[in-house]
A and B are shown apart, each in its own frame.
Chain A
Amino acid sequence: MRAAGVLLLCVATLLLAGCGGPWNDPYPGSPADSNTLYEAFTERPRHLDPARAYSTDEAVFTGAIYEPPLQYAYLKRPYQLQPLTATAIPQVQYEDKNGNPLPRDVSPARIAYSVYTIHIRPGIRYQPHPAFAKGKGGHYLYLHLKRGDLSRMGIQKLSDFPKTGSKELTAQDYVYEIKRLADPKVQSPIFSTMSEHIAGMQQFSKTLAQARKRLDAKEGAGAWLDLRKYPLSGARVLGRYTYQVTVTGRYPQIRYWLAMPFFAPIPWQVDKFYSQPGMDKRDLTLDWHPVGTGPYMLVENNPNLRMVMLQNPNFHAETYPGNGTPAQKKAGLLADAGKRLPFIHKIVFSLEKENIPYWNKFLQGYYDASGISSESFDQAIQVGSGGEANVSEAMKKRGIYLKKVTQPGIYYLGFNMLDPVVGGDSERARKLRQAISIAVDYGDFISIFLNDRGIQAQGPIPPGIYGHQSGCKGLDSQVFTCQNGKPRRKSIQAARKLLAQAGYPGGINAKTGEPLTLYFDTVSTGPGDKSRLDWYRKQFAKLNIQLVIRSTTYNRFQQKMANGDDQIFFWGWQADYPDPENFLFLLYGPNGAAKYHGANEANYSNPAFDKLFDKMKAMPDGPKRRAVIDRMVAIVQRDAPWVWGYYPRQFTLFHGWVHNAVLNPMVSSSAKYLRLDPQQRARQERRWNQPVLWPLWLVAAGVGVLLLPAVILFWRREHARPRRRAR
């Protein structure tokens, strides 16, 4: 038995020894000194099809694989567009309803269309992919597969295809993708928005729906519909490298959309390839195997375990930016100026569902970057005397550094303006909302629940977006006063006074004598959120208002919001693009959730605000636009449809061997700019992960000591003489 135990230990030791690296290395076969970035993902991406991918989990991949015509400058603040595959930022040409060109300074009322002409740089090529593989005669090898062909060829995954090919990026690929946004089969989340702006898109979608019906009836469900055969007036190919996007009226925000993967190119060959019989049964779809011209290509997609991207061998020449601020230069962020991108050869994303293993593996050096969970915050961060968060001494010793950025987003407590108690534009309801806005102290919330990773909001526009006013300039004077140049929340007495003016002195309805009871609609959550809900109750209790928590499932909650059956709710919004229109539209009347199924979840409607919004949305940045925005913000601060919650701050830790790390929320994937020092990582990993064996021997010795009495008793019982009966 003992020999078996020793043998088992030896076998285990051999297995663990691996090839000489640390025993706890979770990447067998991938040396620590390889030029590989190791990251984690907690939620598997649902969609990698650029027409469907919308969440940040997906943007990490789509941003590295697809290339829309524009991108955001990595180092620039405020956020700035720059060409990516386009030769320049497209300039707008206004046209009247007959298609005649109009001058730039024409009256907005005369503008029927805004036309953007985009020129693509020649010579950009797609990653190698079987969809582009051609035979000797120039015909596509894998675009005419019939039912059963994949089984006959033994194809189970993409890498089973014997040949791959590539092709040059053309304007037609961009137009094809824009058409896909209107395809009912694709179900792009931005179709309804784009159909309001891109000329002809609404009708085009109906045309495609009818065409699909006819095709499915003729050739069976799932047959490929060649979108090239169906013209879309709002997206036209003018030449091999030139295409045009036409929007109705004025919509300058279209340029921001041109920097999102929704407007990345998809060639018809890829669409056809993935629509062939048997592809979906093998999970060979664009949603799981994206194809792009970007710096990386997805070579392994096991969303239950790992996703791996490799450098695209056909990636065009792009260099690291050379313009930056003196502070960026001092921080070494310009050291790689002019060098060809990307620097990293391979990126491995591992699925990590739990915070504890994720954090521990980061500390061991097996992840190159990490966020900070609440459990690890105190270990990772120390707050200086000035309130500034810095990395802790323990982290500094390991060479770990911290990057921070304020996200272009907002979280808020919303009032349903259709509700008879808290909603409406009566003075009573307004004062009630203002009183609650004073009582609910989000500064306290940020401190308790977010470890100070947030900035208390004063209005709907976050920092970094044009129109945001910081400090006392953007003060919500209904809730704050300015003291020593800083906003200071008004006292609870001021809130109580407002509440009394609203007809609820001391939280009691003056007319009925009943205590004021309000309802907070939220999604059912686990025990972890009990403390937050208790906090909300306490905030309302300052005014003697009873807050009843109405927890439901996510679906019931969404239904309530869609029907306008909620009263008070907590919500948030992350910018699609850095323009104030993308935040102020959340309070635009015709965007109401209940009546118009829009994103205005509070169902707020103020004609003066709406009028200013219509004026502001297409204005260029400048003093005039600023003045309009300031008036709009003043209106909503007075009406208080939201309790302005907070703008979230992102803290990310990086190991010392990761260079060029900059947090730019508008850049979906910064991987192409990062550079590693793999030798430094290998040295540190070896140093930090030396196996510690003495506890094993201690445990073995302890077990041996414990077994000794058992061995003695065993020997005695086995060798005991039989007892003789007395005669």
Chain B
Amino acid sequence: MLAYIVRRIAYAVPILVGVNLITFALFFVVNSPADIARLQLGVKRVTPQMIHNWEQQHGYDKPLIYNGKAHGLETVTDTIFFNKSLKVFAFQFGQSDQGRDISNDIVHRMGPSLALAIPTFIVGIGLNITFALLLVFFRASYLDASGVIACVILMSISPLFYIIAGQFMVGKLMNLVPISGYHYGWEAAKFLILPVIIGIVSGIGSGTRWYRTIFLEEFGKDYVRTARAKGLSEMKVLFRHVLGNGLVPILTGAVVILPLLFMGSLIMESFFGIPGLGAYTIDAINNQDFAIVRAMVFLGSVLYIVGLLLTDICYTLVDPRIRLD
């Protein structure tokens, strides 16, 4: 397994270089350094000299990828790409174009994102699995059909509707929780209850239907008939045998998402005023802050690669037949 992990990490390096290159190319096809400077300097009384000074100060006055005027290694190192994009491999994200330390910002914003994402994920998965198993228990009955219809209805409603309706009903009409805002520490709980519930409810439809399909497939297998023949109750068959064997495909979807929980949820964080990483990237794109965009894309790529690796490792834990070589 160790050789496999080392090999996967080695594969990750060229992938990340490629991601960096593509992010760089896409960003600078749309925006030039002068464009970035103009956006940062504002609208009033901006002169070409100011734009030039800004570019110089922030290191954007160099060529993008190749410096024809330099010699030797500097043709590659004295470029925007080398100075801005390659240092991220050492997790040196530097400063944003607005002068804030990016690593600092990421560390501070990660907490609120995780505070929202982890309960939503854990409770959501737990409820989805439970409901799915119950629907399988009630298979071929009117309860199963009603449950599936309810899931389709829940899936069809936009998450934005849940947010606005939830804020209106629970926050405004019933005055049970703050409509938006955040506080660090244990007091964050009352700000997170509503977005967590909304996150769970908006995901129940799709999650339950997907897991129901997996469990129904397991349910038709011989070992289930054997377990029933041994006299086990239906609930024990479902929650002990079917669930265990259904975990492999569930893990595929769940473990790969785990690292991405750090990246936050844009819509939730915007509407509920949670200072997480979700809004961080979108704000950076709107403000054309390349420093933040490249840091977040790199971080997201690393977390995705880690998630895939964790998934592979988890396979070996839940299915002894699987070996990683």
Contacts and interface: CB of A to CB of B under 8 A. Distances in A.
Given A192-B50, A280-B99, A354 B271 contact: yes
Interface centre among B174, B178, B235 (most CB of A within 10 A): B178
A691 interface: yes
A189 B44 contact: yes
A55 B176 contact: no
A690 interface: yes
A248 interface: no
A444 interface: no
B164 interface: yes
A200 B175 CA distance: 62
A24 B172 CA distance: 9
B141 interface: yes
Interface stretch (A115-123, A251-259, A707-715): A707-715
A80 interface: no
A640 to B, nearest CB: 24
Interface stretch (A312-320, A345-353, A538-546): A345-353
A597 B175 contact: no
Interface stretch (B179-187, B204-212, B292-300, B310-318): B179-187
Interface of chain B, helix or strand or loop or mixed?
A: helix
A281 B275 CA distance: 20
Contact of A281 (B30, B101, B175, B183): B101
A553 B30 contact: yes
Nearest to B183: A28
Interface residues of B, number: 66
Contact of B50 (A46, A187, A559, A710): A187
Interface string A358-382: 0011011010000000000000000
B45 interface: yes
B72 interface: no
Given A24-B175, A189-B42, A360-B179, A713 B143 contact: yes
Q: Chain A: interface residue count, which band?
A: 35 or more
A155 B121 CA distance: 35
A454 to B, nearest CB: 20
Contacts of B167: 356-357, 360
Given A281-B101, A713-B141, A193 B179 contact: no
A689 interface: yes
Nearest to B267: A354
A219 interface: no
A361 B104 CA distance: 30
Interface string A301-331: 0101100000000000000000000000000
A41 B182 CA distance: 15
Contact of A26 (B31, B109, B181, B271): B181
B92 to A, nearest CB: 11
Interface stretch (A126-134, A231-239, A282-290, A484-492): A282-290
A353 B180 CA distance: 10
B275 A16 contact: no
A521 interface: no
A423 B179 CA distance: 52
B101 A361 contact: no
Contact of A599 (B31, B45, B164): B45
Interface in B139-185: 141, 143, 164, 167-169, 171-183
Contacts of B233: 718
B176 A304 contact: no
B87 interface: no
A363 B141 CA distance: 48
Given A12-B193, A15-B193, A193 B42 contact: no
Interface in A669-709: 688-693, 695-696, 709
A191 interface: yes
A662 B53 CA distance: 40
A469 to B, nearest CB: 26
Interface stretch (B2-10, B33-41, B217-225): B33-41
A192 B52 CA distance: 13
B24 interface: no
A639 interface: no
B60 interface: no
A356 B273 contact: no
B45 A189 contact: yes
Contacts of A187: 41, 50, 53-54, 57
A282 B177 contact: no
Contacts of B183: 28-29
B173 A555 contact: no
Contacts of B275: 302, 304-305, 351
Contacts of B27: none
A613 interface: no
Interface string A261-274: 00000000000000
A558 B180 contact: no
A2 interface: no
Interface in A394-410: none
A24 B42 contact: no
A177 interface: no
B323 interface: no
Contacts of B46: 189
B93 to A, nearest CB: 11
Contact of A16 (B32, B176, B288): B176
A190 interface: yes
B84 to A, nearest CB: 16
Interface in A566-609: 597, 599
Contacts of B174: 691-693, 695-696
Nearest to A719: B233
A709 B319 CA distance: 37
B271 to A, nearest CB: 5
A22 interface: yes
Contacts of B74: none
A723 interface: no
Given A28-B183, A29-B187, A55 B50 contact: no
Contact of A597 (B48, B234, B280): B48
Contacts of A364: 172, 175, 179
A61 interface: no
A554 to B, nearest CB: 7
A54 interface: yes
Contacts of A287: 99
Contacts of A190: 45
A241 interface: no
B302 interface: no
Nearest to A284: B101
A24 B179 contact: yes
A23 B49 CA distance: 54
Contact of A23 (B50, B95, B108, B176): B176
Nearest to A596: B47
B290 interface: no
Nearest to B98: A46
A717 B141 CA distance: 11
A361 B180 contact: yes
B42 A692 contact: no
Interface string A330-355: 00000000000000000000111110
What 9 A-B pairs come out closest when comparing CB atoms? A304-B275, A555-B35, A26-B181, A26-B178, A357-B180, A305-B275, A28-B187, A692-B174, A689-B175
13 contacts: A24-B178, A27-B181, A189-B42, A288-B100, A305-B182, A305-B273, A357-B167, A357-B171, A364-B175, A559-B35, A692-B174, A692-B175, A713-B143
Given A16-B176, A187-B54, A360-B168, 8 more contacts: A189-B46, A283-B99, A356-B164, A361-B179, A364-B175, A691-B176, A710-B138, A717-B137
Interface of A: 12, 15-16, 18, 22-29, 46, 54-55, 184-185, 187, 189-193, 280-283, 285, 287-288, 302, 304-305, 350-354, 356-357, 360-361, 363-364, 366, 553-555, 558-559, 597, 599, 688-693, 695-696, 709-710, 713-714, 717-718
Interface of B: 30-32, 35, 38-42, 44-50, 53-54, 57, 95, 98-101, 104-105, 108-109, 134, 137-138, 141, 143, 164, 167-169, 171-183, 187, 189-191, 193, 233-235, 270-273, 275, 279-280, 288
